[in-house]
Chains A and B, each alone.
Chain A
Amino acid sequence: MSQNNYSPGVNLVVYRILIYGALLFWAFLCLFPIYWTITTSFKTAVSVTQGHLIPWIDFTPKWIGFRSLGMSPETIFQISTVRDEFLKRFVNSVITSTSASILAVMLGSLAAYGLSRFQYKLGFFKNSDISFFFLSQMILPPVVLALPFLVLYRELALLDTTIGLVMLYGLMVLPIVIWIMRDQFSTIPIELEEAGLVDGLSVWGVFLRIVLPISFPGMVAAFILCLVLTWNEYFFAALLTSADAKTLPVMVASQTGSQGINWWSMAALSTAAIAPLAIIGIFLESYIVKGLSAGAVK
């Protein structure tokens, strides 16, 4: 009961064109800002202000942005304070985000496993209440914790330290890990574990020898999702760090010079800030999809 009178062939062609048109249009929307960022780091001031877009045709690419960071071919072997500063922030970001993600995946996986396998009773708290307690942390907006932490960290001498930031980020992504891992563990057949128990393994032996290897891909997925969130986190880092533990997003956000903005160096910095996750996105995309899909489908 086709509602139109065109022949199916023509209809199909139009349909295809529409689909691919929409796909390409959205791909353009996703990629153009990235293209703009990367190319702007090679543009001189004139090329930026005239809105030139295509390298070699309407502007000549120069290493200007990366030179200002001390990372162009001719400056890479020279001493550069900007580069040192940048590398320090970069290393800070790497350390903070990976440690926080590892912390969250460790704590979260254990908790999720316990909650999906054993019955707990803590006073009048049961399993579902404990699960809710963990997951409800997700709706806690960071701003509620921000100022108390500012005061607490000052008292604890944890202000502007990487360890303080790691603990906070770990807390921030913990509910997400529990959410993903609970889903992962529920797909593992319980008979496997009971066989292990009968064979004389302890509950921890079962977890480490049997469950951990099976659920490892799920943990990687959770880890990468945590990495994305913690690498890009700006709010806490801007509040709680100043000199030592400052991360890359804070450095990016504070790039307004006295003579306006140096677009090329800004763009080079942004390129460096987005590159690691862009590479992870390209090569480990399936894990991210896996992580986001967990819990979406029951």
Chain B
Amino acid sequence: MTSTYVRTDHIPAKRKALGQAMILIATILLVALFLTQVLHKAGSISAGFENWRPVLYAYLIWSIALCWGITLIKGERGQRALFVLPAFLFTIAMVIFPLIFSVYISLHDWNLSAFDGPKFNGVDNFMALLGDTYYWNSMLNMLFYLIAILFEYAIAFGLALLLNAQIVARKFFRVVFLMPLMLSPVAVSWMIGKSLMEFRFGPAAALARQLGWESPAFFSTPEIARLSIMILDAWTFIPFMMIMLLAGLQALPLEVNEAARIDGANNWQHFWKITFPLMLPVSITATVIRIIFKLKLADIVITVTSGGPGGATDTVTSFIFREYRDRSNVGYGTMMAVVYLIIIIILMTLMLKLIDRWMQKVT
């Protein structure tokens, strides 16, 4: 829905010229500063600044001049553009430029702690990556972590149904169930992963012993360590899916429930035949967003296991983090990140396409 009411206003030629001059001057300033700095860094001229900060300020001034100039030149249409322009300029500067830069970095042998700067090495990083078993291992781990979302979804759905039932103290339970999402994953992973699940004294380990598990070491064998990380992550993010699903349940038409009661369908049939299909769109939204968040998983792994034992819990992000921390290898680390991004984009596009097609078939 868009506004159809457009005011036609006359813009004086003088104002137009002022706006154009403003943008022109700011552009010249930005380009001049940029070129000066490039030449200065290359060593051709001595004039310049010790860092690139002035260029950033010039970009800021240019952005302001552009926004202002457009309103002067285009009047009402410029004012409308002014809503989107700041966010757009911000995103361009913060994403598009660094992304292009990251492709540049990834084609270089670049060690930040070494004295000599970047050396172009073409696709060497990529070739090294193809043979890096640890990288592909962390990619495989991501697959396991993604599968865990199915279980998170099932639990979250169950909790949403519970909260949607006729219960007393609903508000209390909602606040309590939401709590894990609010807490800092780093603090939580310390307190749960490193003390609650501690081998010797942790209550979780004590409980596991009571239940008959001889040596409850949550982080020493690969499979169990991975499972523990999954559980920690699920604990934090189940509330997130739960709230979205609860919103979906509450938006269901009341008649649907009434009709089922009269038909005498029991709860189980009712759920699978009516509630679940109606909840499909919300479920897909929640799951897709959850997948996006899961692909960023790193902080818990970094603090609790540092990827161990033997890389069994590594996510791609935590692996690249350590690659940088241990070796300052920016070039190779960036290549890994860029490849990760490309894989994500391809798979996400495929997934969304498939979901689209499937949804059309279902509804």
Contacts and interface: CB of A to CB of B under 8 A. Distances in A.
A2 B265 CA distance: 8
Contact of B248 (A235, A269, A297): A297
Contacts of B317: 141-143, 235
A91 interface: no
Contacts, number: 307
A184 to B, nearest CB: 14
B94 A194 contact: no
Interface in A173-202: 174, 178, 186, 190, 193-194, 197-198, 202
A186 B244 contact: no
A25 B76 CA distance: 58
Contact of A134 (B1, B91, B186, B247): B91
A297 B264 contact: no
B58 to A, nearest CB: 12
A266 interface: yes
B351 to A, nearest CB: 11
A110 B88 CA distance: 11
Interface in B243-298: 243-248, 251, 264, 266, 281-282, 285-286, 289, 292, 295-296, 298
B285 to A, nearest CB: 6
Given A37-B191, A147-B105, A178-B87, A252 B175 contact: no
A82 interface: no
Nearest to A206: B3
Contacts of A2: 264, 266
A33 B80 CA distance: 50
A295 B285 contact: yes
Contacts of B147: none
A27 B192 CA distance: 16
A293 B295 contact: no
B167 A19 contact: yes
A150 B266 CA distance: 58
Given A30-B177, A139-B345, A143-B321, A193 B3 contact: yes
Interface in B186-203: 186-188, 190-192, 194-196, 200-203
B187 to A, nearest CB: 4
Interface stretch (B21-29, B49-57, B121-129): B49-57
B230 interface: no
Given A142-B317, A292-B240, A239 B324 contact: yes
Interface string A78-117: 0000000000000000000000000000011011011111
Interface stretch (A43-51, A67-75, A212-220): A43-51
Nearest to A224: B182
A156 B240 CA distance: 37
A113 B83 contact: yes
Contact of B159 (A26, A134, A168, A261): A26
B321 A40 contact: no
A157 B53 contact: yes
B119 to A, nearest CB: 14
A140 B296 CA distance: 9
Interface residues of B, number: 101
A202 to B, nearest CB: 6
Given A49-B200, A190-B1, A238-B302, A137 B183 contact: no
A118 B80 CA distance: 7
User: Contact residue range for chain A?
Assistant: 35 or more
Given A30-B179, A31-B179, A174-B90, A296 B285 contact: yes
B191 A292 contact: no
A281 interface: yes
A228 B337 contact: no
A203 interface: yes
B251 A297 contact: yes
Contact of B185 (A115, A232, A288): A232
Q: Which 7 pairs across A and B sit closest by C-beta, in order of nearness?
A: A114-B83, A293-B247, A111-B87, A270-B187, A234-B299, A281-B182, A296-B244
Interface of A: 1-3, 19-20, 22-23, 26-27, 29-31, 33-34, 36-37, 40, 48-51, 53, 107-108, 110-111, 113-120, 130, 133-134, 137-152, 155-158, 167-168, 170-171, 174, 178, 186, 190, 193-194, 197-198, 202-204, 207, 228, 231-232, 234-235, 238-239, 248-249, 252-253, 255, 261, 263, 266-267, 269-270, 273-274, 277-278, 280-282, 285, 288-289, 292-293, 295-298
Given A22-B162, A167-B94, 5 more contacts: A33-B191, A148-B101, A150-B324, A285-B174, A296-B285
Interface of B: 1-3, 5, 7, 51-53, 56, 76, 79-84, 86-88, 90-91, 94-95, 98-99, 101-102, 105, 110, 112, 158-159, 162, 165, 167, 171, 173-188, 190-192, 194-196, 200-203, 206, 235, 240, 243-248, 251, 264, 266, 281-282, 285-286, 289, 292, 295-296, 298-299, 302-303, 316-317, 320-321, 324, 330, 333-334, 337-338, 340-341, 344-345, 348
10 contacts: A50-B201, A108-B87, A111-B86, A139-B344, A139-B345, A141-B341, A155-B52, A232-B186, A285-B174, A289-B246
